[in-house]
């Protein structure tokens, strides 16, 4: 099950008034199994004079920004969400190489099957909201110029990459982590069913790629 915990702003953006009655997919009580599935926090705000939805996965703090969605059109939100998630996971897999192309396609299908049912719930987590607000500030900065069209998947991927390549920390004593890395590992464990040894090998590749990236940046600064 896919559970989207909605802030008040998100609940308003997902509601629709027809014939004097307000209709909303957001509910107050969680059905059985909703709190054991894939849990995301959903917020809506204005950026570059348009409504932008920010979703953040509670475990990895991986964030996605969606726009171009009409008020109350939660079906369009879910369609765009799954498209962006699938594209980003495939791009991450191309970088790290944790799965073959056929294995990645099978893992995406498994992920969609596991979360075929979606529930929208009122409320959320304060800690997640703090990180989500940071992501929103970055989105507003990135979209301060001309907003990329929805069909520009490269621009959308670059924004997602920008949001999720920095370090985040949950709790003062916890180690910092990279949301993109944590999100990819979560997918490999729960959808591709990789064991601990395979996941550890992927983590080593992630660290090596990050070190090479920072080394290249440092070399450009010294040049």
Q: Pseudo-torsion of CA 13, 16, 21, 26, nearest 10°?
A: -60
Between 160 and 107, whose confidence is greater? 107
State the Cα–Cα distance between residues 182 and 174, nearest whole angstrom.
Answer: 14
Closest listed residue to residue 30, CA positions, set 127, 118, 130, 125: 118
Specify the range with the lowest mean pLDDT, choosing from 83-92, 121-130, 169-178, 204-213.
169-178
Structure tokens at 187: 């997918």
pLDDT per residue as tens digits for the range 165-178: 999 988 876 789 99
End-to-end Cα separation, the chain, in angstroms:
50
What pLDDT score was predicted for residue 222? 63
The DSSP element (H or E) to which 39 belongs, if any, is strand 38-47
Give, to the nearest 10 degrees, the angle between helix 179-190 and helix 101-114: 80
Q: What is the pTM of this model?
A: 0.90
State the Cα–Cα distance between residues 101 and 85, nearest whole angstrom.
Answer: 16
What pLDDT score was predicted for residue 149? 61
Q: Provide the pLDDT confidence category of residue 18 given band limits of 50, 70 and 90.
A: confident
Task: Say which DSSP state 48 is in.
Answer: T
> Taking 90 as the threshold, does the pLDDT of residue 133 lie above it?
yes
- What does the pLDDT average to over 185-209? 95
């Amino acid at each position: 099950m896919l559970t989207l915990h909605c802030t008040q702003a998100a609940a308003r953006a997902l509601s629709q008034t027809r014939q004097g009655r307000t209709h909303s997919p957001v509910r107050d009580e969680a059905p059985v199994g909703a709190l054991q599935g894939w849990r995301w926090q959903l917020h809506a705000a204005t950026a570059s004079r348009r409504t932008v939805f920010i979703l953040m996965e509670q475990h990895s703090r991986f964030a996605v920004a969606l726009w171009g969605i009409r008020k109350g059109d939660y079906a369009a939100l879910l369609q765009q969400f799954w498209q962006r998630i699938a594209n980003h996971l495939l791009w991450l897999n191309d970088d790290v190489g944790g799965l073959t192309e056929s294995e990645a396609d099978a893992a995406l299908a498994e992920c969609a099957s596991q979360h075929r049912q979606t529930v929208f719930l009122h409320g959320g987590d304060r800690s997640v909201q703090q990180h989500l607000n940071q992501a929103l500030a970055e989105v507003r900065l990135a979209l301060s110029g001309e907003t990329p069209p929805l069909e520009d998947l490269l621009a959308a991927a670059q924004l997602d990459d920008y949001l999720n390549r920095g370090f985040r920390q949950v709790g003062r004593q916890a180690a910092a982590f990279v949301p993109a890395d944590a999100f990819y590992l979560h997918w490999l464990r729960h959808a591709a069913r990789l064991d601990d040894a395979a996941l550890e090998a992927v983590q080593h590749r992630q660290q090596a790629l990050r070190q090479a990236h920072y080394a290249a940046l440092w070399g450009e600064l010294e040049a």
